[in-house]
Amino acid sequence: MNALISVSNKESIVNFAKSITESGHSLISTGGTWATIQDAHLPVKQVSEITKYKEILDGRVKTLHPNIHGGILAKRDYKTHVSQLEELGIEFIDIVVVNLYPFVETVSSPNVSLSEGLENIDIGGPAMLRAAAKNFTDVIVVVDPCDYDWIGNKLINGELINLDERKKLARKAFQHVALYDTAIATWLDNGNLFKASEITVGFNKIEELRYGENPHQTGAVFANILGDGGIVKSEQLHGMPMSYTNYLDADSALTTVNSFSETACVVVKHTNPCGIAIDDDQVIAFQKAFNGDSVSAYGGIVGFNKKLEESTAMAMKGILFDIIIAPSYEPQALIILQKRKRTRVLKAHLPYGPLSHINIKSISGGALIQTNNDIDEDMKTWQIVSERSPTDKEMIDLIFAWRCLKHIKSNTIVLAKDNELVGMGAGQPNRLVSIHLALKIAADKSNDAALSSDAFMPFPDNIDIANTGGIKSIIQPGGSIRDSEVIKRANDFNMAMVFTGVRHFNH
């Protein structure tokens, strides 16, 4: 009985090799793994002793040989297979322990060269894993160090690895190879994802969640195999474990607040920003964002795009937030925030890497994939379509309102004044209802506020309702067949209106 071991991750491999040896198997190994096992004074043969052929091409070819793959793939209950191996002098290989070259770790390093990345693409390892996994009824295939202990104990005690256990090990091996190949394809993509006829997306599980969106649903969180950052890779500095909805809400806060280069604060509830503000003073930015909808802000998520200051932490006292997110924290600010028993405190940055610009949504039978809505708009192409041009102050408010709305669920209406979101309507099937909601939230603040709409205003009645709230300037994409009627109504109320030519749906 033979066991072939060839691992990049040598964690616990010596102890596992001892267990395999004690169970009566002879060890075969390659390169660094062979040296590690030999240094532990365990009997082990070089692969070249089995293949009768030395490694060639700087180690690129060493296990790709019939004496290896024949020993793995032969079916023990096929007489012709058994007789062929006997005739050729090939021994069975009953256990294959392999994990692959550290490709992901290599290409994740800054400034890695093409040649270095290519040299860390394993060829022999995946071939052996696939062969052993295909023949799992006869061969035990091991790819995960977490499986060493229980398999080793069973082998030493003479217990069988049953068919169900073998199948799970084979599934893990195929998945490991599939994830490995996905990482390589992603690295080689160079932004051509949408030109490909086939794609796979690779994720590593970070943790299982207590449940999904609701208690009767199961849930887990996974991270992209390449790249870093994002809410999945955030560092939790304090608080209770994250839930499914916590991750969703926190992601909304992170992406929204980091769309601003100025000192910004966002308050999110049920994935929708209900308060956004920018100000040179972080405390004021927070207070404005909180005041955008102080009722909805209770128990919400607050995000910052600059180091969270002690004065801001003090200003947040007495206000319940489930999650606080910032790229970093002043030491005293963190001490203050860690006194909150239930609040989760996260240190997070925007994601980066090959898939950081991609948005994937699951639908029945498949998925929709698109680039992120991060267009760099040229305001020079905007058109003032009303008789009255916006004042300088109105234009500032219009720009801020327009920057806010793409993060809020459609149909979206945002009211803004003095770099503060003062009211919003979200997720409504009727744009009129969104305007009603935004005006109701804003109350007296709607007077002279700027209104932005994520898609064109289809009828003049949108303008009629906006006028009841004292709106004096509107920004929208334009493009309705009734644009002329809408513009005329704006002129009737002496409103300024700007067309951007860009839609910002967020479904």
Partners of 326 in beta bridges:
347
CA angle 455, 362, 220 (to 5 degrees): 120
Residue 282 has pLDDT above 90, yes or no: yes
Q: pLDDT tens, 477-494?
A: 999 999 999 999 999 999
Q: pLDDT tens, 412-465?
A: 999 999 999 999 999 999 999 999 999 999 999 999 999 999 999 999 999 999
Query: What does the pLDDT read at residue 461?
Result: 96
Polymer length of the chain: 507
Q: How does 407-427 read in b/e, with b if 16+ C-beta sit within 10 Å?
A: bbbbbbbbbbbebbbbbbbbb
Query: What does the pLDDT read at residue 30?
Result: 86
Query: What does the pLDDT read at residue 53?
Result: 81
Q: Is residue 329 within 8 Å of 308, Cβ to Cβ?
A: yes
Query: What does the pLDDT read at residue 11?
Result: 87
User: d(Cα 404, Cα 266) in Å, to the nearest integer?
Assistant: 10
> Averaged over 401-405, what is the pLDDT?
95
Query: What does the pLDDT read at residue 145?
Result: 93
Query: What does the pLDDT read at residue 58?
Result: 78
Partners of 499 in beta bridges:
383, 476
Query: What does the pLDDT read at residue 61?
Result: 83
User: d(Cα 50, Cα 467) in Å, to the nearest integer?
Assistant: 85
Query: What does the pLDDT read at residue 64?
Result: 85
Residue 143 has pLDDT above 80, yes or no: yes
Burial of 185 (0-12, 13-18, 19+ CB in 10 A): middle
What single-letter amino acid sits at 297?
Answer: A
What single-letter amino acid sits at 118?
Answer: L
Q: Is residue 289 within 8 Å of 270, Cβ to Cβ?
A: no
Query: What does the pLDDT read at residue 32?
Result: 85
Count H helices and E strands in the chain, helices first. 19, 21
Query: What does the pLDDT read at residue 199?
Result: 84
**Catalytic residue numbers?**
134, 270
> Averaged over 323-335, what is the pLDDT?
97
What single-letter amino acid sits at 332?
Answer: Q
User: d(Cα 244, Cα 256) in Å, to the nearest integer?
Assistant: 19
Query: What does the pLDDT read at residue 488?
Result: 97
What percent of the chain lies above the pLDDT cut of 70? 100
Q: What average pLDDT does the chain have? A: 93
Query: What does the pLDDT read at residue 473?
Result: 98
Q: Which residue has the higher pLDDT, 110 or 67?
A: 67
Confidence of residue 353 (pLDDT cuts 50, 70, 90): confident
Instruction: Copy the structure tokens of residue 336.
Output: 């203050």
User: d(Cα 55, Cα 68) in Å, to the nearest integer?
Assistant: 13
Residues 6+ away with beta carbon under 8 Å from 324: 301, 302, 303, 308, 316, 337, 343, 344, 345, 346
Query: What does the pLDDT read at residue 110?
Result: 79
Superfamily of domain 228-347 in the CATH hierarchy: AICAR transformylase, duplication domain (3.40.140.20)
Phi and psi at 294, nearest 5°, equal -65, -25
Q: pLDDT tens, 128-141?
A: 999 999 999 999 99
Residue 305 has pLDDT above 90, yes or no: yes
Query: What does the pLDDT read at residue 72?
Result: 94
Q: Where are the domains of the chain?
A: 2-187, 228-347, 379-499
> Averaged over 228-255, what is the pLDDT?
95
User: d(Cα 145, Cα 143) in Å, to the nearest integer?
Assistant: 7
Instruction: Copy the structure tokens of residue 137.
Output: 């009824």
Q: Is residue 473 within 8 Å of 416, Cβ to Cβ?
A: no
Instruction: Copy the structure tokens of residue 465.
Output: 């309702």
CA angle 93, 98, 101 (to 5 degrees): 145
Q: pLDDT tens, 175-214?
A: 999 999 999 988 888 777 887 888 888 898 999 999 999 9
DSSP letter for each residue of 52-100: TS--BTTTTBSS-SHHHHHHHH--TT-HHHHHHHHHHTPPP--EEEEE-
DSSP letter for each residue of 306-353: SPBPHHHHHHTTT--EEEEEES-B-HHHHHHHTT-SS-EEEE----BS
Q: pLDDT tens, 28-39?
A: 998 888 889 988
Q: Which residue has the higher pLDDT, 137 or 358?
A: 137
Q: Do domains 228-347 and 379-499 have the same CATH topology?
A: yes
Indicate the range of 112-116, 195-199, 264-268 predicted with least confidence.
Answer: 195-199
Residue 51 has pLDDT above 90, yes or no: no
User: d(Cα 218, Cα 210) in Å, to the nearest integer?
Assistant: 7
Residue 503 has pLDDT above 90, yes or no: yes
3.30.360.10, 3.90.1490.10, 3.40.140.20, 3.40.50.1370: CATH of 379-499: 3.40.140.20
Crossing angle of the two packed helices 461-468 and 431-442, in degrees rounded to 10: 10
Q: Is residue 48 within 8 Å of 55, Cβ to Cβ?
A: yes
What percent of the chain lies above the pLDDT cut of 90? 72
Q: What is the largest CA-CA distance in the chain?
A: 97
User: d(Cα 467, Cα 478) in Å, to the nearest integer?
Assistant: 18
Query: What does the pLDDT read at residue 192?
Result: 77
3.40.50.1380, 3.20.20.70, 3.40.50.2000, 3.20.20.140: CATH of 2-187: 3.40.50.1380
